[in-house]
Amino acid sequence: MSTKRISKEFAEVSQTPIEGFLVTLPPNNSVHTWHVTLQPPASTTFYPGRFGIVLTLPTDYPFKPPVVKFVTRVYHPNITNDSLGNVCLAILKAENWKPSTKIASVLEALRNLLVEPQPDDPLEERIADEYRNDREAWEAKAKAAVTKYALEDPVFPAS
């Protein structure tokens, strides 16, 4: 069931791409891992970065939420600023997840998170403080991180 639904969703996303997203499957063609490239809207601090996201869909998807990790470094209150790139996204939490949520919604939520960080629910407390209290410094650092990490095409880990 999960494979079927995932394939359908992948077909949908491929046919009608979500604005700002490029979705591919890894070389081994497993539908349970999606390689997603996100280009945030031009209005955001993170433009013109391109951010690699690995979306892992559990075998019991859609009964369990997808796991989302940034492979590109992001200077963001809700994304761990390390090589793990964990994301805090409310709809992916076990208590919030519902199987009617589609991956497209997850991707849109990710884009919204880049457009509007949620410093009140941070993964990176320090960046959240900075975002709240010294927005200019945060923007400068976020831009610097974009320049440093996000201008090249994202490199996805072989899986």
Partner 1 sequence: MDGSSADRHLDANAGREVVYCHACAREWYRDERGLLCPRCGSDITEIVSPDNDPRDLNDDDDSEPESPPLRHRFPPRDRDHDHDHNHDHDSDPDEADIEEHLGGPNGFHFRRSVRGRPGMQHHDPNVDPVIERFLGMIQDFQPPRRPNAYEQRPEEGRFGGPHIHRATFTNGSGSASVTIFSGTGTGLFGPGPPGQERHGDPFQTFFSNVLRDVSPPVGGREAGGPTPGFARGLQEILNLFNPAHAIAGDAVYSQEALDQIITNLMEAHPQSNAAPPASNEALANLDRKPVDASMLEGESKTECTICIDDMKVGDPAAFLPCKHWFHEECVTLWLKEHNTCPVCRASIEKPEDRSGPNRHASPPPISTQSSDSDDLYGSGLNRTEPLPIPGAGPSRPPNQSQSRLNEAMRGLSSQQEQQDRESMRRIWGISGGGSGDRAEREQERDQRERERDRIWGAPSAYDTWRAQRRNSRNSLSPTSPRLSSFADYRVRPRQPSPPQSSRRERENSNASTSANPSQPTSSGPLSWLRERFSGGGSRDEANREER
User: How big is the chain by its Cα radius of gyration, in Å?
Assistant: 15
Q: Which is nearer to partner 1, 1 or 140 (CB)?
A: 1
Between residue 77 and residue 116, which ones bind partner 1 under the rule CB under 8 A?
80-83, 88-91, 93-100, 102, 116
Of 121, 127, 40, 146, give the one whose Cα is nearest residue 77: 127
In angstroms, rounded to a whole number, what is the distance separating the alpha carbons of residues 52 and 22? 10
Asked whether position 120 contacts partner 1 by CB under 8 A, the answer is yes
**Residue 122, Cα to own-chain centre: how many angstroms?**
15
54 and 157 Cβ atoms separated by less than 8 Å: yes
Asked whether position 59 contacts partner 1 by CB under 8 A, the answer is no
* Among 20, 62, 77, 154, interactor with partner 1 by CB under 8 A: 62
Residues 68, 88, 110, 113: which is the catalytic one? Answer: 88
Could you confirm whether 123 is annotated as catalytic?
no
Residues with a known catalytic role: 88
